[in-house]
Structure 1
Amino acid sequence: MPPFTARIIDVLQLRKALERKGELALLDVREEGESGEGHLFFSVNAPYSRLEVQVVALVPRKATPVVLVDDGDGLAQLAARRLGALGYSDVAVLEGGIPAWISVGNQVFKSVNSRSKAFAEVVEHAFHTPAIEAVELNRLRRAEADVVVLDSRTPEEFERFHVPGAVSCPGADLVLKFDTFVTHRDQLVVVSCAGRTRGIIGAQSLIDAGVPNRVLALKGGTQGWRLAGLDLEHGTIGDFEFETTSVARGRAEAVRRRFGVPVVDQDRLTLWLTDAAAARTTYVFDLRDEAERQADPLPGAVPAPGGQLVQALDRWVGVQRARIVLVDDDGVRARMTGHWLIQLGEDVHVLEGPRDRLRIPPPPATPLAPVATVPAPEAAALIAGGGRAVSLEASAAFRAGHAAGAVWSIRPRLAGLPQAVLGAPVIVLFADAEVAALAALDLKEITPARIVAVAGGLGAWRAAGLPVEATPDTPPDAERIDYLFWAHDRHDGNAEAMRTYLGWEEQLPQQVAAEGGGGFRLVTEH
Structure 2
Amino acid sequence: MVKSITAHELRRHWVLRKEIVLLDVREEGRYAESHPLFAISVPVSEIESKLPALVPRISAPIVVYDDGENYVARAASRVSKLGYTDVSILEGGLSSYSLVGEVYRDVGVPSKAFGELVESINHTPSLSAREVKNVLDSNDDVVVLDARRFEEFNTMSIPRGRSCPGGELVYRVLEAAPSPETTVIVNCAGRTRSIIGTQSLVNSQIPNKAHALRNGTIGWTLEGLQVDTKKSERAPRPSPEALERARKSAESWAEYVGVPLIDGDQLVTLVSGYEIRTVYLLDVRDPEEYALGHPTGFTNAPGGQLVQATEEWIGVRGAQLILYDTDGVRARMTATWLLQLGWEVYVFHERAAIPQDLAIPRDETKAISQSAESGAITTDELRNLSSVTIVDLARSPTYSKGHLPGALFASGPELARDLRALGGEGPVVLTSPDGDVAAVNLEYARESVTRQVFYLKGGTAAWKEAGHPLETEPRWLSEPIDVYKRPYEGTNNAPKAMQAYLDWEYGLVAQLANDGVSCFHVVRDKRDSPK
Residue 434 of structure 2 aligns with which residue? 432
Deviates more, 1:84-93 or 1:407-416: 407-416
Aligned with 2:143 (options 142, 148, 159): 148
Aligned with 1:256 (options 251, 254, 257): 254
The TM-score, its normalising length taken from structure 2, stands at 0.90
Verify the 8 A CA contact 1:24 1:319 in the aligned structure 2.
yes
Residue 185 of structure 2 aligns with which residue? 190
For 1:468 and 1:146, locate their aligned partners in 2 and report how far apart those are by CA, in whole Å: 48
- The 1:198/1:229 distance shift into structure 2, 3 A limit, reads same
Aligned with 1:418 (options 401, 406, 420): 420
Is residue 2:154 matched to residue 1:159?
yes
Instruction: Please list the CA deviations of residues 304-354 of structure 1 after superposition, one character each: whole Å capped at 9, or x if unmatched.
Output: 015111100111111111111100001100100000011011101100111
Deviates more, 1:88-97 or 1:198-207: 88-97
Instruction: Please list the CA deviations of residues 245-303 of structure 1 after superposition, one character each: whole Å capped at 9, or x if unmatched.
Output: 211110000011110001111211112212355x1111110012234334432111110
Verify the 8 A CA contact 1:424 1:449 in the aligned structure 2.
yes
Residue 393 of structure 1 aligns with which residue? 394
Is residue 2:330 matched to residue 1:333?
yes
Residue 361 (structure 1) shift: 4.1
Aligned with 1:275 (options 255, 273, 294): 273
Is residue 2:416 matched to residue 1:409?
no
Verify the 8 A CA contact 2:149 2:165 in the aligned structure 1.
yes
For 2:397 and 2:319, locate their aligned partners in 1 and report how far apart those are by CA, in whole Å: 36
- The 1:241/1:200 distance shift into structure 2, 3 A limit, reads closer
Instruction: Please list the CA deviations of residues 193-224 of structure 1 after superposition, one character each: whole Å capped at 9, or x if unmatched.
Output: 11100000000000000101111110011111
Determine helix, strand or coil for the equivalent of 2:441.
helix
Which one-letter code corresponds to 2:57 in the other structure? R
Which one-letter code corresponds to 1:215 in the other structure? A
- The 1:366/1:159 distance shift into structure 2, 3 A limit, reads farther
**Aligned residue runs from structure 1 range 30-429, under 5 A:** 30-102=26-98, 104=99, 106-238=101-233, 240-244=236-240, 245-276=243-274, 279-352=276-349, 353-357=352-356, 358-361=358-361, 364=364, 367=367, 369=370, 372-376=375-379, 378-384=381-387, 387-398=388-399, 402-403=403-404, 405-416=406-417, 417-418=419-420, 424-429=426-431
For 2:461 and 2:17, locate their aligned partners in 1 and report how far apart those are by CA, in whole Å: 49
Determine helix, strand or coil for the equivalent of 1:26.
strand
For 1:151 and 1:519, locate their aligned partners in 2 and report how far apart those are by CA, in whole Å: 29
Verify the 8 A CA contact 1:6 1:93 in the aligned structure 2.
yes
The TM-score, its normalising length taken from structure 1, stands at 0.91
Verify the 8 A CA contact 1:116 1:310 in the aligned structure 2.
yes
- The 1:486/1:285 distance shift into structure 2, 3 A limit, reads closer
Deviates more, 1:54-63 or 1:195-204: 54-63
For 2:37 and 2:424, locate their aligned partners in 1 and report how far apart those are by CA, in whole Å: 38
Verify the 8 A CA contact 1:399 1:475 in the aligned structure 2.
no
Residue 228 (structure 1) shift: 1.2
Identify unmatched segments of 5+ residues in structure 1.
none
Residue 492 of structure 1 aligns with which residue? 492
Deviates more, 1:87-96 or 1:246-255: 87-96
Which one-letter code corresponds to 2:59 in the other structure? A
For 2:396 and 2:218, locate their aligned partners in 1 and report how far apart those are by CA, in whole Å: 26
For 1:71 and 1:45, locate their aligned partners in 2 and report how far apart those are by CA, in whole Å: 13
For 2:420 and 2:225, locate their aligned partners in 1 and report how far apart those are by CA, in whole Å: 50
- The 1:243/1:440 distance shift into structure 2, 3 A limit, reads farther
Residue 453 (structure 1) shift: 2.5
For 1:329 and 1:162, locate their aligned partners in 2 and report how far apart those are by CA, in whole Å: 29
For 1:340 and 1:261, locate their aligned partners in 2 and report how far apart those are by CA, in whole Å: 10
Residue 173 (structure 1) shift: 0.9
Identify unmatched segments of 5+ residues in structure 2.
527-531
Verify the 8 A CA contact 1:195 1:221 in the aligned structure 2.
yes
Residue 524 of structure 1 aligns with which residue? 524
Verify the 8 A CA contact 1:189 1:215 in the aligned structure 2.
yes
Residue 69 (structure 1) shift: 1.4
For 1:465 and 1:304, locate their aligned partners in 2 and report how far apart those are by CA, in whole Å: 35
Instruction: Please list the CA deviations of residues 45-96 of structure 1 after superposition, one character each: whole Å capped at 9, or x if unmatched.
Output: 1222211222112111111111111112321211111111122111110122
Residue 501 of structure 1 aligns with which residue? 501
Residue 461 (structure 1) shift: 5.4
For 2:472 and 2:485, locate their aligned partners in 1 and report how far apart those are by CA, in whole Å: 24
Deviates more, 1:60-69 or 1:364-373: 364-373
Residue 473 of structure 2 aligns with which residue? 470
- The 1:189/1:397 distance shift into structure 2, 3 A limit, reads closer
For 1:113 and 1:427, locate their aligned partners in 2 and report how far apart those are by CA, in whole Å: 34
For 1:224 and 1:150, locate their aligned partners in 2 and report how far apart those are by CA, in whole Å: 16
